[in-house]
Amino acid sequence: MSDRYLDFTNSSFGKTLAGMIGLPTPPRLKRASAPWAAQPLEGKYVLVGSSSGATLAAPLLRALSAAGAALRIIPEHAGLPPLKAAAAELKLSLHGNPAEGVGEARNHALVFDASGLSSPWQLRELYDFMQPVLRGIASNGRILLISRAPESAADIQARTASTALRGFIRSLAKEVGKNGTTANLVEVPTGADTAIDPVLRFFLSEHSAFVDGQVLPLALPQTANVALPGSLEGRIALVTGAARGIGASIAETLAREGAKVIGMDHPSAEGGLGETMAKIGGVGLALDVTAPDAAARIAEEVGKSFGGLDVVVHNAGITRDKMLRNMPPHFWDMVVNINLGAILKINEGLLKQGFNDGARVVCISSIGGIGGNAGQTNYGATKAGVIGYVDGMAATFAKRGGAINAVAPGFIETTMTAAMPFGPREVGRRINSLSQGGLPQDVAETVTFLASPAANAVNGRTLRVCGQNFFGM
Ligand SMILES: NC(=O)c1ccc[n+]([C@@H]2O[C@H](COP(=O)([O-])OP(=O)(O)OC[C@H]3O[C@@H](n4cnc5c(N)ncnc54)[C@H](O)[C@@H]3O)[C@@H](O)[C@H]2O)c1
């Protein structure tokens, strides 16, 4: 669906007019147009910094240099010793940041290793790193903090400092979104240090254009690290609700990364499903997710041609909105059965038969399940339920070398949101740090990342894809 305001304010006349009368100009986001690259940061400058005593400098520099980044530092910054030591060990060159990072010399990303923070006063090192260089960041830039999880801190001062980072990044994201820059925080438990490579690649690339203001705590990986590019090649993936909208985009993106896709949708959507699958060489399965034998039918169909499933994306979902006082019981039942009940039952069946070892599951939640919406008690309940479900099932999937996560989209430009009345639609679109709706591709990119075995340190989490929607933050 097109966003005419964004198109207008990005034309030369519209930009001038918006500037004259003080209207906001949503940035045009750069999105990925190709599969995950081996060196997504080639030709790009990344300014790196660290806190004194930081412990993630070596895996951080290794990952950035493997991704092709040209590394810069602020030579006078107090927290440099861990970075310098790691660079010497890895034989990497660190260049001084130019005084005015302008034009071609602008930094694509600012990455700060905050794992050494031991007190709130030491947060000053973070300020000293970020404050002077924020103006020089490129449009569609990336800011990423990596830290240890507050729960694993040695004492209360360290715990307070690492929790402070969450508020810092959420506030900074709201400041830098105007030029399409995003800011996120990744919390790394000891033991997951070398698993940060694919996570950095995702957050610093165009694949995460609409993921903003998020805190992602990593889990301890249960499997060996795998490189992100090519990691879905030949994997067997089932996507429910694949005929159109977000599901169709997820199917396309998984196929772009080399997965063999089985698209499933309700028999009433068989025509659209056939078209989507024909485009990507996928296989269609016309089946209601709430059918009592859905899991057995999936296992049987997949078993015939492919053996088992490496990836399942539970995307099928509906809304039946009404204020609770006016809501008929069938509105309640339909939403609960399709959006939540079917996920539990299909997974239960596939855990007995249908999943391969290492299977990764991604469920689609919604920020409606986090912030709540009048008229959506049924929908909000199911989407919040999804978040609790992936958290509760993470250990079960980890035991089999796999994972289960959720993605919570914000306002996404689909036929569903195009049908909203003009006023609520315009408000829904703009109330985020990037002042625009996301595209189905944005959700699909995050789902595809989580579906990859390379995301082996992400389990039981819900990642919002919402441009830092102000709703529920
Ligand atoms: N569009 C948004 O802004 C947005 C925001 C947050 C979350 N979501 C979630 O993303 C998912 C996809 O949303 P969308 O906007 O693409 O919706 P959509 O209505 O365009 O597509 C949903 C698909 O699910 C299928 N489906 C519905 N019931 C089914 C059933 N019983 N069995 C099999 N398939 C069934 C439909 O036929 C359709 O193809 C949903 O779970 C939705 O709740 C969407």
- C-alpha to C-alpha distance for 147 and 26, rounded to whole angstroms: 31
Strands 462-465 and 95-96: unpaired
Could you tell me if 298 and 264 are in contact, meaning their C-beta atoms sit under 8 angstroms apart?
A: yes
- C-alpha to C-alpha distance for 185 and 363, rounded to whole angstroms: 22
Return the bridge partners of 465, or none: 409
Residue 409 DSSP SS3: strand
Give yes or no for residue 143 CB within 6 A of ligand 1: no
Atom of ligand 1 nearest to the CA of 243: 39
- C-alpha to C-alpha distance for 117 and 159, rounded to whole angstroms: 9
Which residue's structure tokens are 């715990």? 159
Give yes or no for residue 294 CB within 6 A of ligand 1: no
At 418 the pLDDT is 86
Helices 440-451 & 245-256, crossing angle to 10 degrees?
Answer: 50
- Residue 201: closest CA among 29, 41, 403, 70: 41
Maximal CA-CA distance, the chain? 67
Distance in angstroms between the alpha carbons of the first and the last residue of the chain:
26
Give yes or no for residue 249 CB within 6 A of ligand 1: no
Phi and psi at 71, nearest 5°, equal -95, 135
- Long-range residue pairs from 272-275, CB within 8 A, at least 24 positions apart, any chain: 272/243, 272/244, 272/248, 273/242, 273/243
Give yes or no for residue 415 CB within 6 A of ligand 1: yes
- Residue 108: closest CA among 137, 133, 84: 137
> Residue-wise pLDDT tens for the chain (473 aa)?
677 777 767 766 666 666 666 667 889 999 999 999 999 999 999 999 999 999 999 999 999 999 999 999 999 999 999 999 999 999 999 999 887 544 458 999 999 999 999 999 999 999 999 999 999 999 999 999 999 999 999 999 999 999 999 999 999 999 999 999 999 999 999 999 999 999 999 999 999 999 999 999 999 999 999 999 999 999 999 999 999 999 999 999 999 999 999 999 999 999 999 999 999 999 999 999 999 999 999 999 999 999 999 999 999 999 999 999 999 999 999 999 999 999 999 999 999 999 999 999 999 999 999 999 999 999 999 999 999 999 999 999 999 999 999 999 999 999 878 888 888 888 889 999 999 999 999 999 999 999 999 999 999 999 999 999 997 76
Give yes or no for residue 295 CB within 6 A of ligand 1: no
Could you tell me if 350 and 296 are in contact, meaning their C-beta atoms sit under 8 angstroms apart?
A: no
- C-alpha to C-alpha distance for 163 and 82, rounded to whole angstroms: 22
- C-alpha to C-alpha distance for 9 and 26, rounded to whole angstroms: 7
Atom of ligand 1 nearest to the CA of 438: 3
- C-alpha to C-alpha distance for 456 and 197, rounded to whole angstroms: 11
Q: How far is the CA of 228 from the centre of ligand 1 (A)?
A: 28
Could you tell me if 387 and 407 are in contact, meaning their C-beta atoms sit under 8 angstroms apart?
A: no
Residues with Cβ within 8 Å of residue 344, at least 6 apart in sequence: 389
Which residue's structure tokens are 């709706």? 437
- C-alpha to C-alpha distance for 190 and 72, rounded to whole angstroms: 26
- Residue 287: closest CA among 349, 330, 232: 349
HSE-up of 125 (CA within 13 Å, CB side)?
Answer: 27
DSSP for 196-242, please give it: HHHHHHHHHSGGGTT--S-EEE----SS----STTTTTT-EEEEET-
At 359 the pLDDT is 98
At 43 the pLDDT is 93
Environment class of residue 202 by beta-carbon count within 10 Å: exposed (0-12), middle (13-18) or buried (19+)? buried
Q: Which domains does the chain have, with CATH numbers?
A: 39-217 (3.40.50.720), 236-465 (3.40.50.720)
- Residue 106: closest CA among 72, 57, 79: 72
Catalytic residue among 5, 45, 379, 389: 379
Could you tell me if 378 and 331 are in contact, meaning their C-beta atoms sit under 8 angstroms apart?
A: yes
- Return the DSSP state at 11: S
Query: Which of 270, 414, 447 to mutate for ligand 1's pocket (most ligand atoms within 8 Å of CB)?
Result: 414
At 8 the pLDDT is 64
To the query of whether residue 45 is one of the catalytic residues in this protein, the response is no
DSSP for 111-178, please give it: EEE-TT--SGGGGHHHHHHHTTTGGGEEEEEEEEEEE--GGG-SSHHHHHHHHHHHHHHHHHHHHHGG
- C-alpha to C-alpha distance for 57 and 55, rounded to whole angstroms: 6
- Residue 200: closest CA among 364, 358, 362, 69: 69
DSSP for 341-352, please give it: IHHHHHHHHHHH
Q: How far is the CA of 52 from the centre of ligand 1 (A)?
A: 47
Residues with Cβ within 8 Å of residue 127, at least 6 apart in sequence: none
HSE-up of 107 (CA within 13 Å, CB side)?
Answer: 29
Q: How far is the CA of 386 from the centre of ligand 1 (A)?
A: 14
